[in-house]
A and B are shown apart, each in its own frame.
Chain A
Amino acid sequence: MKLNPKDRISSLPEDVIGYILSLLTLREAQATCLLSKRWRQLSTRHVTNLDYLDFDWSDLLRGMKANPEIAEKERARYVEWVDNVVHCQSGRDHTLHGFTICFDLNFSCKSHIDRWIKFALAKRVKVLHLNFEPVYKEDLIDGCLPYPLGHETIMDADVGCLQQSSDLSKVGLSPSIPWHVGFRYLEELHLKRVIVDGKLIEQLLANSPVLERLTLDDARTLNRLRVAGQSLKLKYLCVACCFDLECIEICDMDLVSFTFVGLYSLLSMDKLPQLHEVSLSGCISILRNDLPQLSSLPCLQILELEFDYSHPAHLAIPSELPKLTSVKQLKLRVGGSGDISLLPLTIVIEACPYLRSFVFEYLLDATIRVEMFSFASSFFH
């Protein structure tokens, strides 16, 4: 094959070309297939062997936002793309490090999404991101429910699962639920705008022996969540904007970091000897309801609190707060309209007698988390 001597890129060693392709997005790497016959080979080989699949097509998302009429068409294009790449990779016997879906998808794409999840699990994926954030924040704009993560998707009638059954009965679960063997390898799970219920999450945690990070963002219908037990390897937990969440209980585990964004959920934290970092975002009742629990955490060093502080929220500041003796770093982020004194907030600083660093952010006219604060103001009728 005669190569133009001026074409220095095509004659680079193949593993170097592979490295350059890995610095491009998936679509950019795929697009190099059109350059020449050699690049068609290189590009196809690269995509087939990729161990990190990041299906990022943000241009298409922007197009959807600008033209809502073509939403279904754009969704179909994205789904076709993922199907195509997954199909390319299905034949090969290799493991996946990461699998990321980021698009406005919903219940209408359920069969495809189910297939992708099974594919990723079969490839022993370590990091799984499913982000189905809609382009429009308004609920159910096209009357379609969010994607529901169900038992049937994460079950697997594989031979490899029979061994799991005996482990299941040890954690008190019926052996007739064969969990996908892929959960043995899952280290990170991030879900955004997925319907999932608390019991399923609990079972998932019990069946994922190496799961370290879990994010539940905008998990619809999640009503109660209990994350507990010495056997859990979970270190980083983030629960955000799950507006149907009534109560969340975290106890008796080695969690290192906890982030929570929510308004009315009852938060219960107990026996968390390794909890080092906590971030709570909600309404001012955090101070009265949640700070006392934090004082029992022996290891808590970094604390971030965020809430709305406009009239009449300042009336809800407790007169006394328990001491948080291990906290060294405090960050307070408050939104307000500038009409009330911030001095009452010093009680929070005083609650941390061994503080070494303090950061204060004041967002005038509270543009942060607008939806949440419209709830908050109705609380103070």
Chain B
Amino acid sequence: MATSRKVTLLSSDGESFEVEQSVAVESITIKDSIEEGSAGNPIPVPKVNSKILAKVIEYCKKHVESAKAEDRVDDEDLVAWDADFVKVDQATLFDLIRAANFLNIKSLLDLTCQTVADMIKGKTPEEKRKTFTIRNDFTPEEEEEVRRENQWAFE
């Protein structure tokens, strides 16, 4: 009797995406609004544009499918798929983080934040600034003071 219910998600730039409800509710935000009956049809997803929403849906689909699979998708395979999924440019990565945060999709937030954490590890402050285009707004004296205060964090 289980007919697959579909919902329509509307990105911030007006594009519609029809997805299975089981995929959409990977987002706790969407799940809550459906359960509260406040969802509307289509469900608007502000702050998330069509490019990012498409990727988020791709992620959720993959994870819902692999959880359902008759012969469970190997954990290793899913990990490899996830690793490929986050091989994107920085702009997309951070947009995905914001989307995962707003839509409350824990596993996607974990994956994307861990990717950023891995980008931070093992780099000198200068390398980190370069990677993330962070402007150093310390004066040399200030920088020296900060370094001294936290000397144990630096070799």
- Measured in the bound complex, the distance between the Cα atoms of B45 and A156 in whole Å is 55
The answer to whether B153 and A30 have CB atoms under 8 Å apart is yes
Minimum C-beta distance from A4 to chain B (A) = 5
Is B132's CB under 8 angstroms from A9's CB?
Answer: yes
Task: Count how many chain A residues have C-beta atoms less than 8 Å from C-beta atoms of the other chain.
Answer: 33
Smallest Cβ distance from B31 to chain A, in angstroms? 20
| A36 pairs with B138, CB closer than 8 A | yes
| B 106-137 binary contact with A (CB < 8 Å = 1; else 0) | 00010001101100110001001100111111
Number of inter-chain CB pairs below 8 Å: 89
Give the size of the chain B interface in residues (CB under 8 angstroms).
32
- Chain A contact surface mostly: helix
Q: In the complex the two chains form, is B125's CB within 8 Å of A8's CB?
A: no
Once the chains bind, are A23 and B114 in contact (CB under 8 Å)? yes
In the bound assembly, the distance between CA atoms of A10 and B128 in angstroms comes to: 12
Per a CB cutoff under 8 Å, which of A8, A27, A28, A77 touches B132?
Answer: A8
A8-B90, A8-B91, A16-B97 given; A30·B134 CB < 8 A:
no
Interface segment, B22-30, B63-71, B144-152? B144-152
* Beta-carbon contact of A24 and B128 below 8 Å: no
Q: Select from chain B the residue with minimum beta-carbon distance to A11.
A: B94
Are B150 and A34 closer than 8 Å at their CB atoms? yes
> Does residue B101 face the partner (Cβ distance < 8 Å to A)?
yes
Of B90, B101, B120, B135, the residue contacting A16 (CB under 8 A) is B101
Cα distance A16–B143 when bound, in Å?
A: 25
Q: List 24 A-B contacts (CB under 8 A).
A: A4-B135, A6-B133, A7-B133, A8-B132, A8-B133, A9-B94, A12-B98, A16-B101, A19-B113, A20-B116, A28-B121, A28-B153, A34-B143, A34-B150, A35-B128, A36-B129, A36-B134, A36-B135, A37-B138, A39-B134, A59-B155, A77-B152, A81-B152, A84-B152
- Measured CB to CB, the residues of B under 8 A from A are 90-91, 94, 97-98, 101, 109, 113-114, 116-117, 120-121, 125, 128-129, 132-138, 143, 146-147, 149-150, 152-155
A residues near B (Cβ < 8 Å) are 3-4, 6-10, 12-13, 16, 19-20, 23-24, 27-28, 30-37, 39-40, 43, 57, 59, 77, 80-81, 84
